Amino acid sequence: MTTWWDPIDIAVNWVQDTISFNYNGSVVTSYSGSDNRWWLSETGWFEASHRIGDSYGPGKSSATVWTESHMQNNTFCPGQTTNVYYQDNAVYGRWHYLRRNEYLG
């Protein structure tokens, strides 16, 4: 999840991508993804544009789901528009062999 905070530490919008995928031991055989977006409409934020996409990686070794979102507020800063651009907020699905005691956090 990627979040934008205002100067007084209040979250004003965020974008989150999710992916589910199947791996057969050598390639990603299928995947699906989605996104969630939120904005603090009570203070004037809204989503001006949104696009979601997805693709396989080279040789189907992975899959990606990505979001482009433009959040906007016309009242946040008097006399000007405030913009937040999430460009290629992304999540990747790929196989990773975990060695003993390895943690991917």
Q: Which structural domain, as residue segments, surrounds residue 22?
A: 2-94
Gap between the Cα atoms of 47 and 57, Å rounded? 29
Gap between the Cα atoms of 1 and 22, Å rounded? 22
Contact between 19 and 55 (Cβ < 8 Å): no
The answer to whether residue 101 is domain-embedded is: no
Sheet holding 80-94, edge to edge: 45-56, 62-77, 80-94
pTM: 0.81
Averaged pLDDT for residues 88-98 = 76
The answer to whether residue 72 is domain-embedded is: yes
The answer to whether residue 73 is domain-embedded is: yes
58 DSSP assignment: G
Contact between 27 and 60 (Cβ < 8 Å): yes
pLDDT for the residue numbered 101: 53
pLDDT for the residue numbered 81: 95
The answer to whether residue 104 is domain-embedded is: no
pLDDT for the residue numbered 96: 64
Domains identified in the chain, total number: 1
The answer to whether residue 36 is domain-embedded is: yes
